[in-house]
Amino acid sequence: MPKVAYEVVHPERRTSCVVFASPHSGRDYPWSFLRKTVLDEMTVRSSEDAFVDQLFASAPRLGAPLLKAGAPRAYIDLNRSADELDPGLIEGVRRQGHNPRIASGLGVIPRVVANGRAIYRGKLTRAEADRRIDLYWRPYHHMLQKLLDGAHQHHGQAILIDCHSMPHEAMDGIARGGMARPDVVLGDRFGAAAGGDVMDHVEAAFAAAGFTVARNAPFAGAYITQAYGRPSRNQHAIQVEIDRSLYMDERLIKPNGSFESLRTRLQSVIAEIAEIGQMRVPLAAE
């Protein structure tokens, strides 16, 4: 079993209402899991947002907490609802309506990794699925909400920056259409998960650091953005997807020669975002 559900790096002094979180960068692959999968150790990591937690590691120095997943995405997907159970993988689960994520094998317990490659030979028991959810999913989300509640209490608002990475090929369609290939895609579920001024500030921070930014296409935000984005309650959630080729060799899953320079560029972005909520908003706005 993965040793921990999550790790929180707290700032010495919390000066921002922003919470940075990385739900897909967990890389503690237990031997019991690797023994069950039909994939080799490199392929099973293909869905992982490798090194994203390291890219955002400066957040605590800038006054904002950083929440990092312990369990890997191939083991349990923290960016899914706990009830997104896949009947194609888990025994005793009935199909209920059409959920495109479950249909493609990307439920809370994934059936496949990138490019639809199956993780297991057969099915898992419902008890095994429930155990993973209880030990890893629930603690992570409990802590995430606790961090957001703390931000709201002290600053009058909370802003979640949900940090991810995307395969370089994910932007091929946009590039073929003649548009500039985005380095970063920001998702706020087309305005449902974050206030427009918050989204504008986040986009401006990336643009000022020289990143080409797109909104909501092809990634508008998944479960976390949907579940935690409540702009009417001054709780905002924005998903950030960064092109993996900017900082890593995607085939070898290793940092490339641009890793440190990209991390340095991101520090200025993180600083700008952390400053968004340093002033408490009027209580009448809550």
What is the per-residue DSSP string for 223-262?
Answer: HHHHHH-BGGGTEEEEEEEEEGGGTEETTTTEE-TTHHHH
CATH of the domain at 43: 3.40.630.40
pLDDT digits (tens, 9 = 90+) for 193-225: 999 999 999 999 999 999 999 999 899 999 999
Q: What is the pLDDT of residue 177?
A: 66
Q: Provide the 3-class DSSP secondary structure of residue 76.
A: coil
Q: Is 120 inside any structural domain?
A: no
Q: What is the pLDDT of residue 170?
A: 83
Q: What is the pLDDT of residue 279?
A: 55
Q: Is 176 inside any structural domain?
A: yes
Range 29-41 burial, b when 16+ CB lie within 10 A, else e:
beeebeeebebee
Pairing state between β 18-22 and 66-69: parallel
Q: How far apart are CA 184 and CA 243, in angstroms?
A: 6
Give, in order, the Cα–Cα distances in Å from 178 to each of 172, 183, 244.
10, 15, 21
Q: Is 99 inside any structural domain?
A: no
Quick one: three-class SS letters along 122-153?
CCECHHHHHHHHHHHHHHHHHHHHHHHHHHHH
Q: Is 164 inside any structural domain?
A: yes
Q: Is 112 inside any structural domain?
A: no
Q: Is 95 inside any structural domain?
A: no
Q: 199 and 237 in contact (C-beta within 8 Å)?
A: no
Q: How far apart are CA 55 and CA 225, in angstroms?
A: 20
Domain carrying residue 176: 6-73+142-285
Q: Is 100 inside any structural domain?
A: no
pLDDT digits (tens, 9 = 90+) for 244-256: 999 999 999 999 9
| Single-letter code of the amino acid located at 152 | H
Res 285 pLDDT > 70: no
Q: Is 87 inside any structural domain?
A: no
Candidates 175, 158, 180, 204; CA nearest to 18 is 158
Domain count, the chain: 1
Q: What is the pLDDT of residue 284?
A: 34
User: Where on the phi/psi map is residue 109: left (φ > 0), alpha (ψ -120 to 50), or beta?
Assistant: beta
pLDDT digits (tens, 9 = 90+) for 51-99: 999 999 999 999 999 999 999 999 999 999 999 999 999 999 988 878 8
